[in-house]
């Protein structure tokens, strides 16, 4: 179970309530979103090294289960390595490193730095398990990341949301590695229904929009239909309309299709204007204004 926190006593009290139902407690020190800044958690604790140590060590000393943490990096490589060592000294069993700085989000995201992840792996204790996060868009990126960083495993956030099959057998066929967006969306909606939980309709639609991303670029009229849907029944109708479009497309296909068709799950590749923004930021020595750092680029 992952927690966002900035008070050691409150974090411990919450963790003790669930420690018999989970395998580990994870501390989120990587979230760069505005809500994390407002609540003073995630990567906005990055400069509070004593507080971070207290949060982790309090759990490590008092819980019966392991403690994990996920962090972002600093622009200064030596500071980043010192930061990772500091967190390990507090008692984490697993350290996940997102190879981007706090400022690298939205229009300023850019590529994660696998080199600094490798340097951290080489400088922290070997008994601390380490995961890499960033740049995992296709299954092949997993092995490339493991080879480049020497870590024990990888994490995928954005890539996994757009294609939840990213970790399946790379030798499997296209229909398994890149499932049809309508079939996967239908499966997801059935899982939500089975949970019988008052889950936010906004959260459900957010997932469906990611699964449908390329399909909605082709069939733009369905974007508004999905966006205005209320509840699982209306979302199901939107999925049904997408299913009909896909069946029509399949009926019109002849022979092999080059690349990944629009109706199959695939990663979100950030547009060129975002890469230009990142280069501009680097040219300005990373001095990003408060407003610019909150820009979002839509798919």
Cα–Cα distance between 188 and 211 in angstroms, integer?
Answer: 10
Cβ partners under 8 Å of residue 287, min gap 6: 281
Burial of 272 (0-12, 13-18, 19+ CB in 10 A): exposed
Tokens 């407003």 appear where? 291
Decide: residue 168, CB within 10 A, 0-12 exposed, 13-18 middle, 19+ buried.
middle
Q: Is 43 a catalytic residue?
A: no
DSSP 233: H
Half-sphere exposure of 222 (CA within 13 A, CB side): 25
> Phi, psi (5° rounding) for residue 107?
-70, -10
183 three-class SS: helix
208 is written with which tokens? 């469906």
Residue by residue, DSSP assigns 28-68 as: EE---SHHHHHHT-GGGGTT-HHHHHHHHHHHHHH-SS-EE
Instruction: Return the SS3 of 263.
Output: coil
One DSSP character per residue, 140-175 reads HHHHHHHHHH--SEEE-SHHHHH-TTTTS-TTS-HH
DSSP-derived pairing of the beta strands 129-133 and 2-3: unpaired
Task: Choose the catalytic residue: 31, 68, 88, 145.
Answer: 31
Would you name the residues annotated as active-site residues?
31
């Amino acid at each position: 179970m992952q927690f966002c926190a900035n008070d050691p006593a409150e974090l411990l009290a919450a963790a003790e309530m669930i420690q018999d139902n989970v395998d580990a407690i994870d501390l989120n020190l990587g979230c760069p979103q505005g809500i994390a800044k407002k609540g003073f958690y995630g990567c906005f604790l990055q400069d509070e090294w004593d507080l971070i140590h207290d949060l982790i060590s309090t759990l490590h000393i008092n819980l019966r289960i392991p403690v994990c943490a996920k962090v972002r990096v600093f622009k200064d490589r030596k500071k980043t390595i010192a930061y990772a060592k500091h967190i390990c000294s507090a008692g984490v069993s697993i350290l996940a490193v997102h190879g981007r700085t706090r400022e690298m989000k939205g229009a300023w995201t850019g590529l994660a730095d696998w080199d600094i992840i490798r340097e951290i792996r080489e400088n922290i204790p070997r008994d601390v398990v380490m995961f890499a996060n960033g740049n995992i868009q296709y299954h092949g990126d997993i092995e490339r990341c493991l080879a480049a960083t020497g870590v024990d495993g990888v994490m995928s956030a954005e890539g996994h949301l757009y294609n939840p099959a990213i970790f399946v057998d790379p030798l499997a066929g296209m229909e398994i590695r890149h499932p049809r967006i309508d079939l996967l969306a239908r499966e997801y909606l059935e899982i939500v229904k089975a949970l019988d939980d008052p889950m936010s309709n906004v959260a459900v639609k957010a997932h469906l929009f990611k699964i449908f991303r390329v399909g909605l670029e082709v069939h733009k009229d369905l974007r508004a239909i999905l966006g205005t849907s209320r509840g699982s029944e209306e979302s199901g109708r939107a999925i049904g309309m997408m299913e009909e479009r896909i069946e029509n497309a399949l009926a019109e296909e002849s022979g092999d299709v080059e690349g990944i068709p629009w109706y199959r799950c695939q990663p979100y590749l950030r547009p060129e204007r975002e890469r230009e923004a990142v280069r501009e930021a680097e040219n300005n020595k990373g001095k990003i204004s408060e407003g610019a750092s909150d820009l979002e680029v839509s798919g």
